């Protein structure tokens, strides 16, 4: 693997949660280049080390942290102590659904603790740290992105906690952007469709327009570089989700009643 001669992206100090696999690792590798410092976090030490090796081979300086985003104190210590940050991506997330029947209480709580509380534990210290940084071109101090999902736009019976958790962070990030941009901090929601990751590998149903992680990372970073608040892809799946999500709840429930649940 040859180091990137130069990064096509403007960020030189980046922190990513859930960077040991899937979209998180793809984002890290897409950003890795000489002169770039990556702070990569994940719960699996072995996979995190593999990601670090790959990004180092591309020329980046890599600092890893075995981190559980549910631990507020640990996240505040990590994010707050990382030094200057141009971009923070709250990527860590898990999924569960009704593939085995009723969505069990423990599964639902775990999804919200990681996908919502974990995002809060990442974004809040990131915004606080960026607020103390000197402003750059255009008065920008930094960007924070949260990984939501096209599932944010549909109350999906097959994965109720997952859809709700992603809707919560998508709306929170977009609303927060309206106020934090006054301080030079931009917030973004990234809403992908189906991506080929360990999370989707468990799905026992067709996944239309399934995308590779590298392509998802490219589209996400292009959206961030363009300054878009909401970054969605693929568009055909997004439009379908908006149409289904706009149906009266009873109609939507009837339409989706026969869809298999997410494991």
Q: Which residues carry out catalysis?
A: 162
> To 5 degrees, how large is the angle CA 64–CA 130–CA 83?
35
Q: Is the dihedral of CA 106, 201, 219, 71 positive or negative?
A: positive
> To 5 degrees, how large is the angle CA 63–CA 64–CA 70?
135
What Rg, from alpha-carbon coordinates, does the chain have?
Answer: 18
Three-class SS of residue 41?
A: strand
Evaluate whether 260 touches 99 at the Cβ level (below 8 Å): yes
Take residue 145 and report the two structure tokens written for it: 């992105």
Phi then psi dihedrals of residue 211, to 5 deg: -120, 150
Evaluate whether 117 touches 70 at the Cβ level (below 8 Å): yes
| Burial class of residue 254, CB neighbours in 10 A (0-12, 13-18, 19+) | exposed
């Amino acid at each position: 693997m040859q180091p990137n001669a130069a990064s096509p992206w403007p960020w030189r100090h980046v922190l990513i949660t859930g960077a040991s696999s899937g979209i998180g690792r793809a984002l890290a590798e897409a950003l890795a280049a000489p002169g770039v410092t990556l702070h990569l976090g994940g719960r699996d030490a072995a996979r995190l080390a593999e990601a670090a090796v790959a990004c180092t081979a591309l020329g980046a300086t890599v600092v890893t942290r075995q981190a559980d985003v549910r631990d507020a104190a640990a996240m505040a210590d990590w994010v707050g102590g990382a030094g200057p940050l141009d971009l923070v991506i709250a990527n860590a997330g898990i999924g569960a659904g009704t593939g085995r029947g009723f969505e069990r209480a423990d599964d639902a709580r775990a999804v919200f603790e990681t996908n919502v509380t974990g995002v809060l534990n990442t974004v809040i210290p990131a915004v606080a740290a960026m607020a103390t940084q000197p402003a750059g071109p255009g008065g920008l101090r930094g960007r924070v992105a949260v990984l939501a999902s096209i599932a944010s736009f549909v109350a999906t019976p097959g994965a109720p906690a997952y859809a709700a958790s992603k809707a919560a962070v998508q709306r929170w990030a977009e609303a927060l952007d309206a106020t934090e941009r006054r301080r030079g901090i931009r917030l973004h929601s990234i809403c992908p469709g189906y991506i080929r990751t360990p999370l989707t590998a468990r799905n026992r149903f067709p996944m239309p327009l399934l995308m590779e992680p590298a392509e998802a990372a490219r589209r996400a970073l292009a959206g961030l570089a363009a300054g878009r608040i909401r970054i969605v892809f693929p568009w055909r799946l997004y439009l379908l989700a908006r149409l289904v999500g706009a149906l009266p709840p009873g109609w939507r429930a009837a339409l989706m009643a026969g869809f298999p649940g997410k494991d």
